[in-house]
Amino acid sequence: MKGLSAILIAMCIFLAAGCAAVIIGAGAGAGAYAYIDGALKRSYPANYEKTYQACTGILSDLKQPIKDQTTDGLQTTIDTERSDGTPMTIRVIIHEPEWTEVSVRTGYMGLWKKDISKQFHEFIAERLLKK
């Protein structure tokens, strides 16, 4: 019985520590990236319209045409192509009135170009600071 109690206590401590890590990570959100299934995600302290305009403005500056765009009211997905033919998908998602998440996926399945996605995020952060 003592062994079972020790295991339960250890699990509670582990779970409590995990929750603290999630809370700490959430506070750092604006500068942190998440890399999931080839998409590099980052949250920005800016409303949807400002973030969307930053993304489309960068595409225009880079002369990357928007090939397709879909919106469902909570997020907009933009499909574009870099000058070398590499596909890029940008997703702007509303989290709160003054917070958006941007997901950038560059490259082909299995051959993601994380460095290019990160550079696009750097452009977004720079542009949002200017506005």
What's the pLDDT tens digit per position in 75-107? 999 999 999 999 999 999 998 999 999 999 999
On whether both 19 and 75 belong to a single domain, the answer is no
Domain count, the chain: 2
Helix (H, G, I), strand (E, B) or coil at 2: helix
Rounded CA gap, 91 and 77, in Å? Answer: 4
Question: Which CATH number characterizes residue 101's domain?
Answer: 3.30.310.10
pLDDT of residue 131: 63
Helix (H, G, I), strand (E, B) or coil at 109: coil
On whether both 95 and 36 belong to a single domain, the answer is yes
pLDDT (tens, 9 = 90+) of the chain, 131 residues, equals: 544 444 545 444 444 444 333 333 333 344 677 878 789 999 999 999 999 999 999 999 999 999 999 999 899 999 999 999 999 999 999 989 999 999 999 999 888 899 999 999 999 999 999 86
Burial of 117 (0-12, 13-18, 19+ CB in 10 A): buried
